[in-house]
Structure 1
């Protein structure tokens, strides 16, 4: 801001922006966004893209397998915890339901259809049916987010929300009859992370950002990587996918509840370490954190197509140089997909307004303004 000239002329005061003006709205959103969470979301989506890029490289590399299992232990839990934290204000009001439909349900239908048509071509399965009951690839997260948010008022009213959610997740692991409809195994097994996020407060995030926690996170992550490297040829990392029951993983039923608690404990510790390292100041990638839903949904087409396009065919790709190249390429691609130009192109599918589908809000301006204020920041991926 420039200083006023030291003259006798009285400086002209700028008229305050009206509450509903575009400038005031933009300034209000800028003030309410926290660079720390935008940074966390961007870094997490980069890890998601890297994990998908490493998948075809696991068979020939114990190191890649160890990194893959380690990243899968905390990258989606981190997203889900943040989703829960920003869903605390969801009260099932008409405006919130509308936002849930346009921001989660509609994108799910659009991308579920798009992925089905895309994989018909890449996988050579022309008769693959288009259905919204069996989420394909990474669209499961939108189904889960819809269910979790819709049940937020319930979890806010339960006396012991996190223990209750853990019990639900444990029961899911011993219930193979749940089936694949709406990927309910994942919805229920990942539920505790969402509820955990609902229980968090700003002071909890300030706690993990203390320098002592940041220093402690280094040996914790190093130890976790060492354990992952040791375990790579000895056990499956599918427990961290949370998509199958114990029986479907070939384990006794009692393994399910035990592994649910063990995986939750490990993942929460690693999420805390990850969040401890996230910078709190504005960085070059901070603005990209507002568009991670775009990166998440769009990078899947590249990840799926790359396997059919022969990107992993050359032998050098499965060596150290190729693994580094794939890692950097995945980070670069998902970064581009979070940029404003890409978001403008695909906004119709990811963030449709759909004003034509809803009745106009006839409430008074103050009430509508309060609703707008509680809506800002409610989503974790955008």
Structure 2
């Protein structure tokens, strides 16, 4: 039988050419001489170690989410502390853009393959619905606001990001076929910034105004991040970040911080329409520069907090109850909040809380909400369908 598979006239002693390594996502052929159930060898799928997470991106996500929590802790302090206001403005310039850019980078392979659509629903749409209802009920109780509506069309507080991520990922195939995707995304963001009629449904202002950062992430490559971590960029990022803090300290009393939220049009902020275009482009440039400075100092090796990078969405959504509750319950109305040590304490507590909420034990408790399988809700996707889209 083996002779029938050998090319006619070939020398049986001639060695076969070495096998080519399998492409990513394509399984290697099974060894015909290996009995079923025996360990795989020579690079077969069972012998291949599981794909490891990149420590750099997990570190970046964790540090970015810590800055998100710190920013929420600083917001009530900005009325009386110019230093807190300056730090708040600088962090809000780049913390969500950095998070969105990384989200775009990891959405590069997204297509309309059934299993990926299922993960989009279970990992984004379902948590949005659950936390939108939970936040609305929390506001009714903690803020004594029984009339607060429960509406999946009007995201409240942090849930806007899940709506945006859902929309951005669905549009990923479109960005891969258009020419000049980043300029086009910027045009869309500028048009949104001068269109007050968009309204609040699904927080589309934020979806459209933050869109360019997601599109940039879609087209970034590993070498771009390696260049950001070069010695020259790291050295230059220090004075750039210092200059940003100094400028924010000067601009704080003179500027409306609502521009950093990207949730309103220029007209809604009391400015002429053309200011929306200028501010959109200016903030995009500043955000990209400061995001680069931030990423330049993210550690590349595994750190004690690297494992927490896998749980940043847990920390993001769960810490909102404490962040909002601290306002509802008047914690910042006490005298301690007017002192420097109080501002430092609020910062430390925010970092500690978000760190705990990203830990594996918390993820295990809330996985049924954040990453439900919902096998009963979907048709079975065969291996052939998954391979076809790989």
Q: Distance in 1 between matches of 2:99 and 2:280?
A: 18
Contact 2:66–2:354 (8 Å) recurs in 1: yes
**1:251-301 deviations in Å (ceiling 9; x for gaps):** 000001111110000000000000000000000000000000100000000
> Does residue 121 of structure 2 align to residue 97 of structure 1?
no
Counterpart pick for 1:159 among 168, 179, 186:
179
What is the CA deviation profile of residues 78-126 of structure 1, one whole-angstrom value per residue up to 9, with x for unaligned ones?
0000011111101111111111111101110000000000010111111
2:39 to 15, 21, 36: 15
Partner of 1:83: 103
1:177 and 2:201 matched: no
User: Which residue of structure 2 lines up, in the alignment, with residue 357 of structure 1?
Assistant: 377
What CA distance in whole angstroms lies between the structure 1 residues aligned with 2:172 and 2:142? 38
- Could you tell me how far apart the structure 2 residues matched to 1:237 and 1:56 are? 13
**Separation in 1, partners of 2:361, 2:170:** 31
Bigger Cα displacement from structure 2, 309-318 vs 354-363: 309-318
Could you tell me how far 1:19 is from its partner in structure 2? 7.4
Q: 1:306 to 1:19 in 2, by over 3 A?
A: farther
CA distance in 2, matches of 1:126, 1:350: 27
Asked whether the equivalents of residues 113 and 386 of structure 2 are also in contact (C-alpha less than 8 Å), the reply is no
Name structure 1 gaps, 5 residues minimum: 1-13, 375-382
Aligned to 1:157, the other structure's residue is in SS state coil
Instruction: Measure the CA separation in 1 of the matches of 2:216 and 2:207.
Output: 14
Report the equivalent of 2:319: 299
Q: 1:168 is matched with which residue?
A: 188
Partner of 1:257: 277
Of the candidates 135, 159, 166, which is equivalent to residue 115 of structure 1?
Answer: 135
1:14-70 deviations in Å (ceiling 9; x for gaps): 93389787xx79x413x2x10000000000000000001111111010110110011
Q: Report what 1:322 is aligned to.
A: 342
Query: C-alpha displacement at 1:237, in angstroms?
Result: 2.0
Counterpart check, 1:344 vs 2:383: no
1:271 aligned partner:
291
User: Is contact 2:115-2:386 (8 Å) kept?
Assistant: no
Alignment gaps of 5+ in structure 2: 1-37
Map of 1:206-225 to 2, 5 A cutoff? 206-225=226-245
Maintained 8 Å contact 2:142/2:325: yes
Farther off after superposition, 92-101 or 147-156: 92-101
Structure 1 residues 19 and 352, CA, compared in 2 at 3 Å: closer, same or farther? farther
**Equivalent-residue separation in structure 2 for 1:310 and 1:259 (angstroms):** 34
SS of the aligned residue for 1:266 comes to: helix
Q: Give the whole-Å Cα distance in 2 for the aligned partners of 1:109 and 1:273.
A: 35
Cα deviation, residue 313, structure 1? 2.6
Taking the aligned partners of 2:246 and 2:377, their CA distance within structure 1 comes to 53
Q: 1:313 aligns with which of 329, 333, 337?
A: 333
Determine the structure 2 residue equivalent to 1:379: none
* Offset from partner CA, 1:177-235 (integer Å, 9 cap, x none): 00000000000000000001111111100000001100000000000000000000111
**1-side partners of 2:44 and 2:263: how far apart?**
46
Answer yes or no: is the 8 Å Cα contact 2:114–2:381 preserved in 1: no
Equivalent in the alignment of 1:332 = 352
Aligned match of 1:41: 61
For 1:199, the equivalent position in structure 2 comes to: 219
Equivalent-residue separation in structure 2 for 1:99 and 1:241 (angstroms): 28
1:293-321 per-residue CA deviation (whole Å, 9 max, x = no partner) reads 10000000010111123322321222100
TM-score (norm 2): 0.87
The structure that has the greater radius of gyration is 2
